[in-house]
Amino acid sequence: ITSGHTSASANVTIWRECESGVEGDETLEISFADNIANAKMSPFSMDISIENDWVNDVIEITFDWSGELTYDSGLPSENTIDFCSIDIDYIITDDLGNALGYIAGTGDCPEIAEVSGLTDGTYFIIAELYDQPFSAPAYDGPLTTIPQTVTWMQCGFPATTGEFSNELLTTATPTGDVLPIAVLEVTGGYNYTVTPF
Protein backbone atom coordinates (compact mmCIF):
# COMPACT_ATOMS: atom_id res chain seq x y z
CA ILE A 1 0.00 0.00 0.00
CA THR A 2 1.59 3.22 -1.09
CA SER A 3 1.92 6.24 1.14
CA GLY A 4 -1.29 8.17 1.56
CA HIS A 5 -3.50 5.27 0.54
CA THR A 6 -5.52 2.80 2.54
CA SER A 7 -5.92 0.11 -0.11
CA ALA A 8 -4.14 -1.60 -2.96
CA SER A 9 -4.82 -4.27 -5.54
CA ALA A 10 -2.86 -7.06 -7.15
CA ASN A 11 -3.42 -9.75 -9.75
CA VAL A 12 -3.10 -13.44 -8.97
CA THR A 13 -2.20 -15.79 -11.82
CA ILE A 14 -2.93 -19.50 -11.49
CA TRP A 15 -0.55 -21.47 -13.68
CA ARG A 16 -1.89 -24.58 -15.36
CA GLU A 17 0.57 -27.45 -15.37
CA CYS A 18 0.36 -30.96 -16.73
CA GLU A 19 1.45 -32.68 -13.54
CA SER A 20 -2.21 -33.39 -12.95
CA GLY A 21 -5.17 -32.96 -15.26
CA VAL A 22 -7.36 -32.02 -12.30
CA GLU A 23 -6.06 -29.28 -10.04
CA GLY A 24 -6.63 -30.03 -6.37
CA ASP A 25 -7.99 -27.49 -3.93
CA GLU A 26 -5.44 -24.86 -2.99
CA THR A 27 -5.16 -22.07 -0.45
CA LEU A 28 -3.84 -18.60 -1.21
CA GLU A 29 -2.64 -16.64 1.82
CA ILE A 30 -2.62 -12.85 1.64
CA SER A 31 -0.94 -11.06 4.53
CA PHE A 32 1.08 -8.05 5.58
CA ALA A 33 3.30 -7.52 8.53
CA ASP A 34 2.95 -5.20 11.46
CA ASN A 35 4.84 -1.97 11.94
CA ILE A 36 7.10 -0.85 9.14
CA ALA A 37 8.96 2.41 8.65
CA ASN A 38 6.66 5.42 9.07
CA ALA A 39 3.56 3.26 9.49
CA LYS A 40 1.78 1.46 12.26
CA MET A 41 -0.38 -1.44 11.11
CA SER A 42 -2.00 -4.40 12.71
CA PRO A 43 -0.79 -7.72 11.30
CA PHE A 44 -3.28 -9.12 8.84
CA SER A 45 -3.65 -12.49 7.15
CA MET A 46 -6.45 -13.90 5.03
CA ASP A 47 -6.75 -17.36 3.49
CA ILE A 48 -8.58 -17.72 0.18
CA SER A 49 -9.67 -21.20 -0.91
CA ILE A 50 -9.34 -22.01 -4.60
CA GLU A 51 -11.54 -24.95 -5.51
CA ASN A 52 -12.25 -26.64 -8.83
CA ASP A 53 -10.07 -24.10 -10.62
CA TRP A 54 -8.98 -26.22 -13.57
CA VAL A 55 -9.70 -29.54 -15.20
CA ASN A 56 -8.00 -30.36 -18.49
CA ASP A 57 -10.83 -31.48 -20.76
CA VAL A 58 -8.73 -31.27 -23.95
CA ILE A 59 -7.64 -34.43 -25.75
CA GLU A 60 -5.11 -33.98 -28.54
CA ILE A 61 -5.48 -36.37 -31.47
CA THR A 62 -2.93 -36.58 -34.28
CA PHE A 63 -3.75 -38.06 -37.68
CA ASP A 64 -0.66 -38.89 -39.75
CA TRP A 65 -0.68 -40.37 -43.25
CA SER A 66 2.79 -39.19 -44.29
CA GLY A 67 4.90 -41.42 -46.48
CA GLU A 68 6.06 -41.96 -50.03
CA LEU A 69 5.59 -44.50 -52.78
CA THR A 70 8.14 -45.04 -55.52
CA TYR A 71 7.04 -47.08 -58.51
CA ASP A 72 8.07 -47.87 -62.07
CA SER A 73 5.58 -46.51 -64.58
CA GLY A 74 7.45 -47.80 -67.62
CA LEU A 75 9.17 -44.47 -68.20
CA PRO A 76 12.94 -44.08 -68.15
CA SER A 77 12.77 -42.88 -64.54
CA GLU A 78 10.81 -43.98 -61.48
CA ASN A 79 7.95 -41.93 -60.08
CA THR A 80 7.68 -41.00 -56.41
CA ILE A 81 4.48 -39.69 -54.87
CA ASP A 82 4.15 -38.03 -51.48
CA PHE A 83 1.10 -39.17 -49.52
CA CYS A 84 0.99 -35.75 -47.82
CA SER A 85 -0.24 -34.38 -51.16
CA ILE A 86 -3.61 -35.78 -50.08
CA ASP A 87 -5.64 -33.20 -48.15
CA ILE A 88 -7.70 -34.87 -45.43
CA ASP A 89 -10.10 -33.13 -43.04
CA TYR A 90 -11.48 -34.72 -39.89
CA ILE A 91 -15.07 -34.40 -38.68
CA ILE A 92 -16.68 -35.40 -35.39
CA THR A 93 -20.24 -36.75 -35.37
CA ASP A 94 -22.67 -37.75 -32.67
CA ASP A 95 -23.68 -41.37 -32.13
CA LEU A 96 -26.33 -41.06 -34.86
CA GLY A 97 -23.79 -39.88 -37.44
CA ASN A 98 -24.87 -36.22 -37.42
CA ALA A 99 -21.85 -34.03 -38.16
CA LEU A 100 -21.00 -31.68 -35.29
CA GLY A 101 -18.14 -29.95 -37.06
CA TYR A 102 -14.55 -30.16 -38.21
CA ILE A 103 -11.94 -30.93 -35.58
CA ALA A 104 -8.99 -30.71 -37.99
CA GLY A 105 -8.94 -29.25 -41.47
CA THR A 106 -5.88 -27.08 -41.96
CA GLY A 107 -4.34 -28.76 -44.99
CA ASP A 108 -1.41 -29.88 -42.83
CA CYS A 109 0.07 -33.36 -42.77
CA PRO A 110 -0.21 -34.56 -40.10
CA GLU A 111 -3.41 -32.95 -38.85
CA ILE A 112 -3.72 -32.27 -35.12
CA ALA A 113 -7.10 -31.92 -33.43
CA GLU A 114 -7.77 -30.55 -29.96
CA VAL A 115 -11.15 -31.82 -28.82
CA SER A 116 -13.00 -30.51 -25.75
CA GLY A 117 -16.37 -29.33 -24.53
CA LEU A 118 -18.26 -32.52 -25.39
CA THR A 119 -21.09 -33.84 -23.27
CA ASP A 120 -20.90 -37.43 -22.09
CA GLY A 121 -21.62 -39.91 -24.86
CA THR A 122 -20.30 -41.68 -27.94
CA TYR A 123 -18.85 -39.82 -30.91
CA PHE A 124 -17.38 -40.87 -34.24
CA ILE A 125 -14.37 -39.37 -35.98
CA ILE A 126 -14.60 -39.40 -39.77
CA ALA A 127 -11.93 -38.61 -42.39
CA GLU A 128 -13.12 -36.57 -45.36
CA LEU A 129 -10.91 -36.55 -48.44
CA TYR A 130 -10.89 -32.89 -49.42
CA ASP A 131 -8.43 -33.47 -52.25
CA GLN A 132 -7.04 -36.83 -53.35
CA PRO A 133 -4.88 -36.33 -56.46
CA PHE A 134 -3.88 -39.98 -56.85
CA SER A 135 -7.40 -41.17 -57.61
CA ALA A 136 -7.33 -39.13 -60.84
CA PRO A 137 -6.74 -40.86 -64.19
CA ALA A 138 -3.28 -39.28 -64.41
CA TYR A 139 -2.03 -41.55 -61.61
CA ASP A 140 -0.55 -44.67 -63.20
CA GLY A 141 0.89 -46.31 -60.10
CA PRO A 142 -0.23 -49.44 -58.28
CA LEU A 143 -3.20 -49.61 -55.94
CA THR A 144 -1.60 -48.94 -52.56
CA THR A 145 -2.89 -48.74 -49.00
CA ILE A 146 -2.07 -45.46 -47.25
CA PRO A 147 -2.12 -46.05 -43.48
CA GLN A 148 -3.42 -43.28 -41.23
CA THR A 149 -1.73 -43.46 -37.84
CA VAL A 150 -3.93 -42.11 -35.05
CA THR A 151 -2.27 -41.11 -31.77
CA TRP A 152 -3.75 -39.31 -28.81
CA MET A 153 -2.82 -37.88 -25.43
CA GLN A 154 -4.40 -35.79 -22.69
CA CYS A 155 -2.12 -33.56 -20.67
CA GLY A 156 -2.21 -34.56 -17.01
CA PHE A 157 -3.81 -37.94 -17.69
CA PRO A 158 -0.98 -40.40 -18.43
CA ALA A 159 -3.42 -43.28 -19.01
CA THR A 160 -5.16 -41.38 -21.82
CA THR A 161 -2.65 -42.16 -24.54
CA GLY A 162 -2.59 -44.60 -27.40
CA GLU A 163 -2.07 -45.31 -31.07
CA PHE A 164 -3.53 -47.39 -33.84
CA SER A 165 -3.37 -47.54 -37.62
CA ASN A 166 -6.37 -47.21 -39.93
CA GLU A 167 -5.83 -48.77 -43.37
CA LEU A 168 -9.04 -47.89 -45.23
CA LEU A 169 -7.43 -45.17 -47.37
CA THR A 170 -5.89 -46.24 -50.69
CA THR A 171 -4.56 -44.48 -53.76
CA ALA A 172 -7.92 -45.25 -55.41
CA THR A 173 -10.09 -43.57 -52.73
CA PRO A 174 -11.66 -40.59 -54.54
CA THR A 175 -11.93 -36.97 -53.48
CA GLY A 176 -15.10 -36.45 -51.43
CA ASP A 177 -15.16 -39.90 -49.88
CA VAL A 178 -15.49 -40.24 -46.12
CA LEU A 179 -13.83 -42.96 -44.06
CA PRO A 180 -14.65 -43.99 -40.49
CA ILE A 181 -11.59 -43.60 -38.28
CA ALA A 182 -12.28 -43.79 -34.55
CA VAL A 183 -14.86 -43.98 -31.79
CA LEU A 184 -14.51 -41.43 -28.99
CA GLU A 185 -16.23 -42.08 -25.67
CA VAL A 186 -16.62 -39.22 -23.18
CA THR A 187 -17.52 -39.70 -19.51
CA GLY A 188 -17.51 -37.20 -16.68
CA GLY A 189 -16.94 -34.35 -19.13
CA TYR A 190 -13.21 -34.96 -19.49
CA ASN A 191 -12.48 -38.70 -19.41
CA TYR A 192 -11.80 -40.01 -22.92
CA THR A 193 -11.52 -43.45 -24.50
CA VAL A 194 -10.43 -43.75 -28.15
CA THR A 195 -10.85 -46.98 -30.10
CA PRO A 196 -10.60 -47.87 -33.80
CA PHE A 197 -13.90 -47.60 -35.67
Q: What is the pLDDT along the chain (197 residues), one digit of tens a residue?
A: 666 777 778 887 766 666 666 666 777 787 776 666 666 667 778 888 877 667 889 999 999 999 999 998 777 778 899 999 999 999 999 999 999 999 999 999 999 999 999 999 999 999 999 999 998 888 889 999 999 999 999 998 888 999 999 999 999 999 999 999 999 999 999 999 999 99
What pLDDT does 121 receive? 98
CB atoms within 10 A of CB 94: 14
Cα 172 from chain centroid (whole Å)? 29
pTM: 0.79
Which is nearest to 22 in space by CA: 193, 188, 195? 188
| Contact predicate 41/34, CB 8 Å | yes
Which is nearest to 63 in space by CA: 11, 25, 108, 5? 108
The C-alpha angle 65, 70, 76, rounded to 5 degrees, equals: 155
What class does CATH assign to 59-196?
mainly beta
CA torsion angle 135 152 104 65 (round to 10): -20
What pLDDT does 28 receive? 78
Domain segments of the chain as ranges? 1-55, 59-196
